[in-house]
Chain A
Amino acid sequence: MEKDLNWREFVITRLIKVSGYSAIVFVALIFFFLLREGLPTLGEVSLSNLFSTRWYPIEDYYGILPLITGSLIVTVGASLIAIPFGIGTAIYIAEIAPRWVREILKPLVELLGGLPSVVLGFLGILVLSPWLRVSLNIPTGLTALAGSLLLGAIAIPTVVSVAEDALDTVPRSYREGSWALGATKWQTIWRVTLPAARSGVLTGVMLGIGRAIGETMAVMMVTGNAPVMALKLSSLFSPARTMTATIAAEMGEVASGSVHYHTLFFIGMVLFLISLAVNVAASSVVFRSKKRAERILS
């Protein structure tokens, strides 16, 4: 009996430990498979072709620059929306809203985070883009701007929840000290609370932008899917094509093992590396500021 118990405990502990390490295994596996299927493209497509400005796989043009600039312009547009609205809402929820408003707003913002992106894309096609076409008087509403608006909405919940957490963890004594010195609540928010929560707010913004770059369905449905170079801010008002949308739209139709297939995996590899960089940077901001806080407090 006693022995039996020890044996079971041993097996279960091992299983739990293996599960604990599974996240590392999966990240490694994902990277391995992207490399395995994506790297051959470097042997099949010349670098000057790969980094050209023309994406037209049927005639063997594999320039990924229009896709990269497409992702960039849509993401920049999304950030311009998500940063002020996300941080503003976080400050409102954490610092200003009465308790009952807070109890309503927080679940509503979480709800936005839970809306499937395909539903937002669907409304983007039927409601947002016709409205943009008419009100801006442009030939089509399916533009980078439509994508930016939807992506901004998709990134907001991430920014709000991370930034709000950060504001929440600023000790109450900081605020009380500021009020005692005669500062108004508004001055306290700008000069004390927000600077103290700076790193958390920054993390939220970075994670939100990371989410925007990686978003696929909503963007694919509303940006018009034209792989053209987007270099100026005015490109927002014409159709664009992001990296994610290209993979999603074309992978279904290519033969596995073809040049086109490898190139799509190569784009996936680039996306993976971008998200890796964003997340490592975001978490190192958190680690560093935690260490600094610990140093100050001890």
Chain B
Amino acid sequence: MNRHLSQRLGFSLLTLIAVFTVVPIVAVVIYILVQGAPAISWEFLTAMPRSGMREGGILPAIIGTFYLTIGTAIFSVPLGIAAAVYLSEYAADNRWTRLIRLAIINLAGIPSVVYGLFGLGLFVLFLNFGTSILAASLTLSIMTLPVIISTAEEALRAVPQGFRTVSFSLGATRWQTIRRIVLPQALPGILTGVILGLERAAGETAPILFTGAAFFLPRLPGSVFDATMALPYHLFVISTQVPEMPIQIQYGTALVLLVFVLGMNIIATVIRSRARAKRQW
């Protein structure tokens, strides 16, 4: 066969494959937007569920996901950034550092439901936190850690070595250099990683199934030792466990979850591209 003809055929095939990969993604998002929009009202977003969740709003699920995301951030952000600083600024290239990297890769690959088991074993039962926001947040933050560490490390490494050399030559200590020079320069990249990590935590169901998620609560959680409703778990519950659930409420809940998660995704993308445009090095 003529090799230019085979190139034409090959390119068409690859284009087709790319189209088949991307079109369903767009279709899913648009479909949920269209189907879910009619359910969205002020009441849906701000009222408690009524009549076995078949009427009313989804406020406790929205608040719950908000709490869990904040709780996850409190633990995973400082720890993740500190670990990234260690890997990028302190660690020597030796056996231990390679072991740390291997551990991070493995943390990233552990199935989410296994995190749920671990959270149940350690936080809920062994440390006796019970099924609670605290236990669920801790579980989610360990799951989020590898994303934050690897993106933050990449951002720190992208800061040119010259910046550090100049700072040292002016008499600054290593920590002063990190805090005043390296971290501020790497901030947009770190922030992008943090948001992408938290986005994953906000959308996850399996890790909170047995560590903090509640099927239904008549009131909002009052302390970190209370269980909570959450958007992804709520969507799971109303689409599989509640018979005769109005379809509109299901699509509405899916839409709110999607907006929550994709909103974070878009914010992260904007921060990244704006920082790239402004960067002077």
A interface residues (Cβ-Cβ under 8 A, vs B)? 5, 8-9, 12-13, 15-17, 19-24, 26-27, 29-30, 33-34, 36-37, 84-86, 88-89, 91-93, 96-97, 105, 107-112, 114-123, 125-127, 153, 156, 160, 184-187, 189, 207, 210-211, 213-217, 221, 244, 247-248, 251-252, 256, 264-265, 268, 271-272, 275-276, 278-280, 282-283
Which residues of A have CB within 8 Å of B261? 114-116
B107 lies within 8 A of A186 (CB): no
Instruction: Enumerate chain A residues within 8 angstroms of B100, measured Cβ to Cβ.
Output: 20-21, 23-24
Give CA–CA (A85, B18) in the complex, Å. Answer: 7
Q: Give 21 A-B contacts (CB < 8 Å), ordered by A residue.
A: A19-B78, A21-B96, A27-B106, A33-B122, A85-B17, A89-B17, A89-B18, A114-B199, A115-B258, A116-B258, A118-B232, A119-B32, A122-B239, A122-B250, A244-B206, A251-B120, A275-B111, A276-B106, A276-B109, A283-B102, A283-B105
Task: Give B17's nearest chain A residue, CB to CB.
Answer: A88
Is A186's CB under 8 angstroms from B174's CB? no
B117 touches A247 (CB 8 A): yes
A279 with B14, Cβ < 8 A, contacts A20-B86, A26-B142, A116-B257 known: no
CB <8 Å contact, B258 and A280: no
A23 engages B107 (CB within 8 Å): yes
Q: Which chain B residues in 202-232 approach chain A with CB under 8 Å?
A: 202-206, 209-210, 232
Instruction: Knowing A116-B232, A221-B239, A280-B102, say if A111 contacts B142 (CB, 8 Å).
Output: no
User: Which residues from chain B sit less than 8 Å from chain A, CB to CB?
Assistant: 3-4, 6-7, 10-11, 13-15, 17-18, 20-22, 24-26, 28-29, 31-32, 78-79, 82-83, 85-87, 90-91, 96, 99-118, 120-122, 125-126, 142, 145-146, 149, 173-175, 196, 199-200, 202-206, 209-210, 232-233, 235-236, 239-240, 247, 250, 254, 257-258, 261-262, 265, 269
CB <8 Å contact, A89 and B265: no
From A270, which residue of chain B is reached at the shortest CB distance?
A: B114
A30–B110 CB distance below 8 A:
yes
- Tally inter-chain residue pairs, CB-CB below 8 A: 258
Which of B15, B122, B203 is in CB contact (< 8 Å) with A116?
B203
User: Are A13 and B18 in contact, CB atoms less than 8 angstroms apart?
Assistant: no
B109 near A207 with CB under 8 A, answer yes
Known: A34-B114, A215-B111. A107 touches B83 (CB 8 A): no
Cβ-defined contact, A275 with B110, below 8 A: yes
Assess the B205–A217 pair: CB atoms within 8 A.
yes
CB distance B21 to A17 under 8 Å?
Answer: no
B174 to chain A, nearest CB (A): 7
Complex: chain B residue closest to A38, CB-CB: B117
Q: Given A116-B204, A217-B205, is A268 in contact with B117 using a C-beta cutoff of 8 Å? A: yes
**Measured CA separation A86–B20 after assembly (Å):** 11
Separation in Å of the B36 CB from the closest CB of chain A?
Answer: 11
* Distance, CA A84 to CA B22, complexed state (A): 14
Tell me the complex Cα distance, A34–B257, Å.
31
Nearest first, the 3 A-B pairs at minimum CB distance are: A214-B111, A20-B86, A116-B203
Residues from chain A with Cβ under 8 Å of B22 in the complex: 89, 105, 108-109
Q: Are A279 and B105 neighbours in the complex by a CB distance under 8 Å?
A: yes
- B258 pairs with A248, CB closer than 8 A: no
